[in-house]
Amino acid sequence: MNDKLDSKIVLPKTAKGKRSVFFDDPAIDQLMTFIMELSTEVSVVYDRLDTIERLLDNQKTISRDDIENYRPSPDVEEIRNKRRSDYLRRVFRIHTKEYE
Amino acid sequence: MVLQAEHNFLITGDHDEVNRQHYVSRLRMHILNHIGGGMRKAFEQENKKETSKPETGETNLREKILNSNYGKFWSTMMVSCQDMVWESVIPPIERAQPKLNREISCQKNTLSKLFLNPDLKIPNYLTAVDIHRMPGSYHTERSNNDASQGALYDRGRFIYNAGQAGPFADGISRTMAEYISLKWPSFNPKKILELGCTIGTSTVPFVNKFKKSQVHAIDISAPVLRYGQARAEALGKRIYFHQMNAEKLDFDNGEFDLIFSCIMFHETSRKALPKILKECHRVLSPKGLMIHAELMPNNNLKDFDRFYMNWDAFYNNEPFYKTYTSLDPRELVLNAGFNEGSFFEVAIPDIDKSSAIEFNKVVSKSSVMSKNTGRVGEGVKWYTFGAWK
């Protein structure tokens, strides 16, 4: 252990222990991670756009700081969550009759 | 989804990071409820078609589900999403270091106390794998004041739960504290002990409910306790935190009137579990109450729920989970020295997700367990067991 209070802390990014794969070809498991991560980034871009639109509702120009400092109210968060859930239902749907 | 209650040491992230975390929460709920719910429906219908006997056994069912594309997609998405939860919260916490550790170690604590034991050995069952796939698990520390794993657990667990346990992520503990106070209104514990408190989220509701009590909380990991003390102080709560192994408590016989834990035992081991219960019996005062919230024993679950709940045992780094759920809490409690008549078990409806009428109905009954009681598919209920000394 390091006794210095100001030393840089690096956190591990992966977990100790086996990571399971479920498809016969592990590439499909890997592809699902790619797709899920990509879906996340699309949602993050959508939220950033939503922030810009909401700021422009009230002011003519906005700065990067305005965007970075914006935090949605619980009402706006609820609207975003509804949008996220609808988006998830469209993107990650399974082709099974009994599903719906 | 409720927003997480802020306190001085909570690390969320910048604009995009917070939105990423909130999306991952929704994604996890979609996989659990929408895809998982569809999977349940598909398999229940298929089961009905194939055989007149509705239950075919968990092992057969697991094999069947995991051989289907439905089960494979669900499972691979569960694992990826679990990793995404932690990935979404790690960068801002890492960036906040070493300032966070410094601020926590420099904070003046006027309410809470922390007693660390640097010589304590972390048991193998906590170091063999990172439980819940949380990188670094509970115990990893990189400097002598490191509290990062506490910060990671605080934010990560909230994102994992999608805020379902309330803004302070304390729903189970609030449910237990409310149940105890309504069920036994004349019970006034002087000293309370929580086992496996991590960052004290489940300790605080007992401080709030039992205002005259002195509340102690133990955990084996220093980083979560450092963070827990800072958090408790920031929230204005008086808690005595101790770094201790629940298998061997450094407390006197009969010291506590109430001992509780929140979903802890399944993260211990077959050898540790009876030792912990014996220690509970030892440090509990005469006429004291022991109560633990835990996973529902398997014999109370239907096949699909058993598969669904035990999935974590196989794929979410919870090696003791499946063995734990196959054990009989009554037998364990009696073997620890408690009397036959004093054992109880109850499935308490979640305080935020049930009406007062529903909650009181459970309080007024001596037991509400049945073969079909489970927290999957029948509303959220928390299985608790315990005994009076």
pLDDT per residue over B110-145, tens digit each? 999 999 999 999 999 999 999 999 999 999 999 999
Cβ proximity of B156 and B224 under 8 Å: no
Q: Flag whether the ipTM exceeds 0.95.
A: no
What is the reported pLDDT for B163? 92
Q: Higher confidence at residue B262 or residue A94?
A: B262
Q: How far apart are CA B98 and CA B102, in angstroms?
A: 6
What is the reported pLDDT for B374? 55
**Residue among A16, A81, A85 minimizing CB distance to B130:** A16
Query: Is A11 within 8 Å of B71 when comparing Cβ atoms?
Result: no
Cβ proximity of A84 and B26 under 8 Å: yes
Cβ proximity of B242 and B115 under 8 Å: yes
Q: Is the pLDDT confidence value at B86 over 50?
A: yes
Q: Is the pLDDT confidence value at B298 over 90?
A: no
For an interface test with B, the pick among A21, A36, A52, A90 (most B C-beta atoms closer than 10 Å) comes out as A36
Class level of CATH domain B1-389? alpha beta
Q: How far apart are CA A82 and CA B359, in angstroms?
A: 29
Report in angstroms the alpha-carbon separations of B275 from B128, B333, B341. Answer: 20, 11, 21
What is the reported pLDDT for B20? 98
Q: Is the pLDDT confidence value at B367 over 80?
A: no
Domain spans of chain B?
1-389
Nearest to B386 by CA among B259, B279, B301: B259
Q: Higher confidence at residue B63 or residue A7?
A: B63
Query: Is A43 within 8 Å of B19 when comparing Cβ atoms?
Result: yes
Cβ proximity of A91 and B35 under 8 Å: no
Query: Is B145 within 8 Å of A99 when comparing Cβ atoms?
Result: no
Instruction: Assign A46 to helix, strand or coil.
Output: helix
**For residue B50, what pLDDT band results from cuts at 50, 70 and 90?**
low
For an interface test with A, the pick among B3, B4, B21, B27 (most A C-beta atoms closer than 10 Å) comes out as B27
Q: Higher confidence at residue A8 or residue B80?
A: B80
Q: Which residue of B has its CA nearest to A34?
A: B80
Least confident window among B227-231, B247-251, B358-362: B358-362
Cβ proximity of B172 and B353 under 8 Å: no
Q: Which residue of A has its CA nearest to B77?
A: A32
**Residue among A1, A11, A85 minimizing CB distance to B136:** A11
Chain A and chain B share a number of CB contacts under 8 A equal to 173
Q: Is the pLDDT confidence value at B330 over 50?
A: yes
Least confident window among A91-100, B108-117, B189-198, B349-358: A91-100
Cβ proximity of B168 and B5 under 8 Å: yes
Cβ proximity of A28 and B76 under 8 Å: yes
Q: Is the pLDDT confidence value at A2 over 50?
A: no
Instruction: Report pTM.
Output: 0.94
Q: How far apart are CA B265 and CA B282, in angstroms?
A: 18
Cβ proximity of B112 and B214 under 8 Å: no
Q: Is the pLDDT confidence value at B196 over 80?
A: yes
Nearest to B175 by CA among B257, B235, B262: B262
Q: Is the pLDDT confidence value at B63 over 90?
A: no
Q: Which residue of B has its CA nearest to A27?
A: B76
Domain spans of chain A?
41-93
Least confident window among A77-91, B252-266, B278-292, B293-307: B293-307
Query: Is A5 within 8 Å of B98 when comparing Cβ atoms?
Result: yes
Sheet holding B284-294, edge to edge: B113-115, B240-243, B214-219, B191-195, B256-262, B284-294, B381-388, B343-349
**Residue among A7, A40, A98 minimizing CB distance to B84:** A40
Q: Is the pLDDT confidence value at B371 over 90?
A: no
Query: Is A89 within 8 Å of B34 when comparing Cβ atoms?
Result: yes
Q: Which residue of A has its CA nearest to B316?
A: A19
Query: Is A77 within 8 Å of B15 when comparing Cβ atoms?
Result: no
Q: Higher confidence at residue A57 or residue B371?
A: A57
**Residue among B77, B86, B137 minimizing CB distance to A36:** B77
**Residue among A1, A13, A96 minimizing CB distance to B90:** A13
Q: Is the pLDDT confidence value at B378 over 60?
A: no
**For residue A3, what pLDDT band results from cuts at 50, 70 and 90?**
very low
DSSP element (H, E) containing B257: strand B256-262
Helices B99-106, B222-234: crossing angle, 10 deg rounding: 70
DSSP element (H, E) containing B240: strand B240-243
